[in-house]
Amino acid sequence: MPAKVKENIFSTIIIEMRNDLELDAIIEDYLLGKLNPQETEAFETLRSNDATVDHKVVSHKFFLESMEMYAAQLRLKEQLNQIHAEIDVETLASSFRPHPSKVVQLWRKHKSAIAVAASFLVLSLVSVYSIQHNSKQKEQLVLLSNQVNKAIKTQNNLIRKINNNSSSAGKPAIQNSFGGTGFAISTNGYILTNLHVINGADSLYVQNNKGESFKVKSIYTDSQNDIAILKISDKNFSHLSSIPYSIKKSTSSIGETVYTLGYPKDDAVLGEGYVSSKNGFIGDTTQYQVSIPVNPGNSGGPLLDNNGNLVGIISGKPDQTEGAAFAIKSKYILEAMRAIPQDSLGSNKLSSSTKKSLLSGLKRTKQIEKLQDYVFMIKVYN
């Protein structure tokens, strides 16, 4: 018996659905003017008597109009794309692009003007004196290049030695530990940091802002760009909620306000400043120079702009310039993320900034509140 009851209910549902579909069909024919006069009249009577039917007609009309607009727009876009394909964009573009040779030409023009001025000067001076002057200039140049060489040797990596008391105590070294900073690039426990932070490690741990430690493994290293990706391999680790920052694909301009959160001590420290140069250590184009006070332990920390876009990774600082630091540009983060198996990061990973990040429009204090769950202290034991 119950089976039969079921069957009955089922068939009424089907009939209702069928009627619904037929009603939709009639409404569409009515709106498109496909009904004959009698049918139209009959339908209009039904419509004026039944508020539900009337509502359906109104909503279907709106829907059809939206669809018509959508279709028209789509056709127009297709048409524009066809026209666009006929244009030789490459040739046009090369004629408009700000041309480097133009800059060079300007410089040359400038130079000749200087040369004229200089020759004027030379004429008014004793020739021997001018030769001396020239040789002096050369010497200065050499000196400068020497300084550059020195600078190469003295770039500091910002790793922090946490306890190195064993050597001072004269006991055999039991355990040395170093620290740096890292940040989450996916919700399932992938963390990105500098390679120099974890180089030569025997065991690696990360610690979050609540003080919980998790064991991590190194998954991927890129020695050229000084990037390493770690994976939390601890079963006590619970997934993070979605990553609040996104990767900035374009390069940042000089003067853009940026900040970083890192672990130069056992608590997270905020450093704020601005991009001070588009290139890093002696013209290294893979890095920015930023004006942020950083300390050992800041290495591997995320560098963000006001809208929560990831601009780079703090990686080092020059020895002789106070208050400056270097940061690896964000596009190398993307490259590193592409280098590991895509499905391992899960669906909820760090993405490039096509839409606004969750941090966008928030005050700095709120941004930090959100950010701090995603920035980790890296603890290295060797």
What residue ranges bind other proteins (CB under 8 A)? 20-21, 24-25, 59-60, 63, 66-71, 73-77, 79-81, 83-84, 86-87, 89-90, 92-93, 96-98, 248, 250, 253, 255-256, 305-307, 309, 353, 356
Torsion sign over Cα 138, 139, 145, 147:
negative
How many Å apart are CA 324 and CA 337, to the nearest integer?
A: 27
Q: What is the DSSP letter of 158?
A: -
Strands 302-305 vs 309-317: parallel, antiparallel or unpaired: antiparallel
Judged by beta carbon, residue 181 or residue 353, the one nearer other proteins is 353
For residue 269, list its beta bridge partners: 262
Judged by beta carbon, residue 60 or residue 215, the one nearer other proteins is 60
Closest CB 53 distance from other proteins, rounded Å = 15
How many Å apart are CA 281 and CA 132, to the nearest integer?
A: 34
> Is 290 within 8 Å of 326 (Cβ atoms)?
yes
Closest CB 247 distance from other proteins, rounded Å = 12
Q: Is 221 helix (H, G, I), strand (E, B) or coil?
A: strand
Judged by beta carbon, residue 133 or residue 356, the one nearer other proteins is 356
* Stretch (H or E) spanning 83: helix 51-85
Rg (CA), the chain: 33
Judged by beta carbon, residue 71 or residue 104, the one nearer other proteins is 71
Judged by beta carbon, residue 36 or residue 91, the one nearer other proteins is 91
Closest CB 289 distance from other proteins, rounded Å = 17
Judged by beta carbon, residue 39 or residue 212, the one nearer other proteins is 39
Closest CB 273 distance from other proteins, rounded Å = 16
Closest CB 70 distance from other proteins, rounded Å = 4
Closest CB 371 distance from other proteins, rounded Å = 16
Torsion sign over Cα 124, 129, 131, 137:
negative
Q: Is 219 helix (H, G, I), strand (E, B) or coil?
A: strand
